[in-house]
A and B are shown apart, each in its own frame.
Chain A
Amino acid sequence: MSLVHINIFLAFTVSLVGLLMYRSHLMSSLLCLEGMMLSLFVMATMVVLNTHFTLASMMPIILLVFAACEAALGLSLLVMVSNTYGVDHVQNLNLLQC
């Protein structure tokens, strides 16, 4: 694998670990989700452009659209939590109630 691929793959892994291990703010998890999406996008675009796989050049754009939707969903959940508690500390989510 070339160095560029390793670089981007490493960026993806760092964002994944950052998504799954965080201290207290839910917002950091969402930010890492965005980072994952970004690295995936760059990786997909580079592969498609290097191999001249023109038919698949739609894929990164569709990926972007769906990622926007999921970011909106995540942000709405964050807003719900923030409405109830004021801050988005993860240790508040222990009541099983909206």
Chain B
Amino acid sequence: VFKRFVEIGRVAFISFGPHAGKLVAIVDVIDQNRALVDGPCSGVRRQAMPFKCMQLTDFVLKFPHSARQKCVRLAWEKENINEKWAATRWAKKIEAREKKAKMTDFDRYKVMKAKKMRNRIIKHEMKKLQKMSSKKGKKPEKPEKSEKAQKSEKVQKAQKAQK
């Protein structure tokens, strides 16, 4: 049922508090509610932190309990946690949310136009397929779907560039 456990070396994401949004590694467990935590590569000093504000990630580092910061840093850099984290969907969602919140009025307009264009293309292709299927009875045309996918990719790129 549970896949991520609190263990020495577990990398956790801090969800609220003064260090919200940063990654830390669990170095030791103090008691039922707190852990000794250290984030040398993310700017978090070695400190006690309650489990409640930590959300466990998939990454585990290898170092002995109560290892000093240098060891934690070495393990962190060896595993390249920062890059791996940036590649996860979790981090990307966070980034997308931040970008959306920072959008100015002009950006919102540009996104609206891009979305409109994209949806129009998709609808156009859908209608085509529907027409085909209604006309020819039972012959679904699959090569047309790839065209639609290409066109929509172009629009997505435009959207991302504008963001």
**Chains A and B are bound partners:** no
